[in-house]
Structure 1
């Protein structure tokens, strides 16, 4: 397990197989998945297989990926946030949190820490974020961290998506 970064309230680290139940539970909530285009895992075993493959495909071959987000005082898994190279060969910021953790500022805090890591540690020059046009909460997070609307498009099964982006020079942590 690799520690990535932390904030005042959160720890971001690579996924481990012990996250499988939490990851499965997170992706089993229809409201959490509503705007993602993703399907729930069939069972925890499928989640374990996904995490094993993810560790190989992202962390080992690319050097970054989506990361588990934990509450600092308790190490409670509350969701994930991180970067990935998407199907358009762009570096994409994404996040997903348990419903009971919404509206607490965790997504904004984790996303800002992820941008800081991406620009300073990974030396990336541009990071994008995408959200279904109807997903106003995620769009607010992208805007709060300084991303600007770029274009409308289709991504990962979501036809009506809004694309946002920010460059290293525009980012103000």
Structure 2
């Protein structure tokens, strides 16, 4: 991860790329905001060094060919959060996103997540992608609905009881593409 990460996905306003060790402070700061991690089940990093260790040991790119990606604003080159795909503990491919509070309600989560779905289905040939969200996290639920993901079931997720599970198949994604043209 010491090489400069090449852009993986570009959208009109964003670049999504692999994390770099230089993102340790950004990741630390992101997870230090109790509102940002409120519905995630993740504890904050205790130090920047702990965030660096996390990034140094992050093997999803090598193990799966995808992972969570740093989200960079094109106009300022600023790290504003992350978005991406993950092979979760249930062996399902899950889309996730997390952004600094100052970037909320600007459409970045939807823009980045749409690009990740497209990459997952079209480039990686994934057959189905799920999204998991705490029932009280209405903003993230809205993003999943905008992605045309459909409610699937209630279950717990990372210690959060009554989480909602959404999913979309590649077949449904392609059907939605045709009808939106």
Q: Same fold by TM-score, threshold 0.5 exceeded?
A: yes
- Post-superposition offset of 1:2: 3.4
- Post-superposition offset of 1:60: 1.1
Instruction: Give TM-score scaled by structure 1 length.
Output: 0.97
**Pairing partner for 2:48 from 44, 47, 51:** 44
**Pairing partner for 2:137 from 128, 135, 138:** 135
Instruction: Give TM-score scaled by structure 2 length.
Output: 0.93
Aligned residue-pair number:
171
Give, in whole Å, the separation in 1 of the partners of 2:27 and 2:77: 15
CA RMSD of aligned residues (A): 0.8
Give, in whole Å, the separation in 1 of the partners of 2:131 and 2:8: 20
Structure with greater Cα Rg: 2
Name stretches of at least 5 consecutive residues in structure 2 with no aligned partner: none
SS of structure 2 residue aligned to 1:109: helix
- Post-superposition offset of 1:47: 0.5
Match of 2:102 in 1: 100
**Is structure 2 residue 35 aligned with structure 1 residue 31?**
yes
SS of structure 2 residue aligned to 1:60: helix
Match of 2:15 in 1: 11
Name stretches of at least 5 consecutive residues in structure 1 with no aligned partner: none
